[in-house]
Amino acid sequence: MKIQAFTFAMAALLAFAFPLKTNAQDGWVELINGKDMMGWRANENTATWTVEGGLLAGVGKRSHLFYEGEHLRDGFKNFEMEVQVRTFKLANSGIYFHTNFQEEGWPGTGIEIQVNNSHIGEGTYVELKKMGSLYGYRNIYKTFSKDDEWMTVKARVESDRVQVWVNGLQTVDYRQPARTFSRLRRLSKGTFAMQGHDDHSRMQYRSFRVRRLPDDASSGLTAPDFGVWHDTLMAMQGRNFPFIDLNPPANLTALELTDYVRATGINAAFVKSPKKANQLGAASGLPLFTGMKVTAKNIVTQTNSMADFVIGESTDMQSAKALLGSGKIQVWSDKGRVLTAQTAGELLNLAKQKNVAIEIDNATRHPSVEVLRMAKAKGCKFTMSGLVPKEKMEQSSYVFEVLKTAGLDYKDFYVPGM
């Protein structure tokens, strides 16, 4: 596992340290000419797309710009892609592949690579999926790039495998299983499209390079079989539920966690105690959240700018109250299992007052559904643990049960940085 993760990391670094040349001899073709939109066809709201200063710009009502130029031929199946894009505050865009032109609406075919650093949603919908997600397949809930800066999005689609990088950081390594549930789109063949999402979204594209790979190209890898729970996970992710384990086993390395994230679609955090805070740097350049784990005894020593959040682990009622009332944690892990229907009133009030999310442990099935309903009624937030490693997911489906029986919505979950 460690060797595989190291190989992935080194491959990503080498790919960006030695950028590919752009010329016909090596197979790369540029689809944006910087002069006009020749080769591209916008559907509804065509005024959204313009060419300004050599850049293909999008701002305005929903519109998708499909490639129909000379290089399309019978469509792209296996390929490498490198796109340079810049977004501005609240922008939401996307890069579709294996899609087909349609007159209006969100593309009904193809798969999307998410382009979003800061867009938060529209109306009552909250957008959690961030830059470099393979939308609905391998969602990323942490942003590793910035608006107002040029970003390079790379992808490699090879038979049943999709890899995505953002500025050299690999966010996705999806291997399509032999069987998927019917509503999940399969990898196929088609064209590319860029997304203009809404009036608040402004983005610029200055390069869209593609290189074909042979139609029979294969990764030679077999997709892992995670069983029925993974189908449920994929379906729930499609409904925007963020599956993030913010308190995984401490013995897993950052590279091992990264392998798990890419394989399953479950996001994870690399968490250390204040004494080991210097080890958080191991997560740099990897698609992981970082966290600081404290107790009631060492909470005063926690300070680390590398941590995305602080989680407090209590062992009894006294330490639970101390952590919840401290104002220094964002997540509470009730290892002492003191949160019951009898004690919930006081503890949940503290959690709500201090904006502390309550951990739902899939492995120990704690807290109970009754308590979670009480917490939901008070407006508390939640997080998940016991999703890593896969053996815990295979042994328990508690998180799936409580989402339904406790009436939890995706907006009830705490996502660091949101």
Indicate if the pLDDT at residue 10 is higher than 70. no
Strands 150-158 and 161-166: antiparallel
| % of the chain at pLDDT higher than 70 | 93
Co-location of 101 and 244 in the same domain? no
Q: Indicate if the pLDDT at residue 14 is higher than 80.
A: no
pLDDT at 303: 64
**Token pair for 59:** 């701002």
Q: Based on the domain organization, do 326 and 362 belong to the same domain?
A: yes
User: Hunting for tokens 């291997």 — which residue is that?
Assistant: 175
Domain membership flag for residue 198: yes
Q: Does 59 score more than 80 pLDDT? A: yes
The order of strands in the sheet holding 111-115 is: 40-42, 63-67, 191-196, 93-99, 111-115
Residues 184, 236 share a domain: no
Contact yes or no for 365/339 (Cβ under 8 A) = no
**Same structural domain, 382 and 270:** yes
List the CATH number of the domain containing 255: 3.20.20.140
Residue 79 lies in a domain: yes
Rounded mean pLDDT of 129-157?
A: 97
For 13-48, the three-class secondary structure string (H helix, E strand, C coil) is HHHHHCCCCCCHHHCEEECCCCCCCCCEEECCCHHH
Tokens 């999008």 -> residue: 58
Task: Answer yes or no: is pLDDT of 207 > 60.
Answer: yes
* Domain stop point among 182, 212, 242: 212
Is residue 263 located within the same domain as residue 343? Answer: yes
* Torsion sign (Cα): 198, 202, 206, 211: negative
**417 falls within a domain:** no
Are 208 and 237 found together in one domain?
Answer: no
pLDDT of 368 over the 60 cut: yes
| Tally of structural domains, the chain | 2
Terminal C-alpha separation, the chain: 31
Same domain, 183 and 288: no
Question: 19 pLDDT exceeds 80?
Answer: no
CA distance 258 to 287: 7
DSSP 3-state assignment of 269? strand
pLDDT over 50 (residue 349):
yes
DSSP sequence for 117-180? SS---STT------TT-BTTTB---S--S-TTSEEEEEEEEETTEEEEEETTEEEEEEE--S--
Q: Tell whether 75 is covered by a domain.
A: yes
- The whole-number pLDDT of residue 178 equals 87
Q: Phi then psi for 382, rounded to 5 degrees?
A: -135, 160
User: At residue 371, what is the residue type?
Assistant: V
Position 37 pLDDT exceeds 50: yes
Identify the domain boundary among 177, 212, 247: 212
Q: How much is the pTM?
A: 0.91
> Is residue 316 pLDDT above 80, yes or no?
yes
- Is residue 150 located within the same domain as residue 116? yes
H/E segment holding residue 394: helix 390-395
Residue 223 placed within a domain: no
Q: Which CATH number fits the domain that encloses residue 28?
A: 2.60.120.560
Are residues 299 and 273 in contact, defined by beta-carbon separation less than 8 angstroms? no
- Is residue 217 included in any domain, yes or no? no
Does residue 305 lie in a domain region? Answer: yes
Measured CA angle at 333 (ends 240, 265), to 5 deg: 30
pLDDT for 256: 98
173 Cβ contact partners less than 8 Å away, ≥ 6 residues apart: 8, 138, 161, 162, 163, 262, 263
Q: What is the pLDDT, as a whole number, of residue 5?
A: 45
Q: For the residues 20-44, what does the mean pLDDT come to?
A: 85
pLDDT of residue 176 exceeding 90: yes
Residue 245 shares a structural domain with residue 156: no
Is residue 206 located within the same domain as residue 263? no
| C-beta separation of 135 from 114 below 8 A | yes
**Both 189 and 261 in a single domain?**
no
**Res. 9: pLDDT tops 80:** no
Q: What mean pLDDT do residues 24-52 have?
A: 94
375 is in which domain, residue-wise? Answer: 228-412
Two structure tokens written together for 28: 């790369």
154, 179, 212 — which closes off a domain? 212
Q: How many angstroms from the chain centroid is the CA of residue 243?
A: 10
pLDDT of residue 405: 96
Give the chain's mean pLDDT.
Answer: 92
* Three-class secondary structure of residue 398 per DSSP: helix
Q: Which has more confidence, 26 or 10?
A: 26
User: Is residue 418 domain-resident?
Assistant: no
110 and 235, same domain (yes or no) = no
What is the percent of the chain with per-residue pLDDT over 90, rounded to a whole number? 86
Max CA-CA distance within the chain?
A: 73
To which residue do tokens 């892609």 refer?
Answer: 81
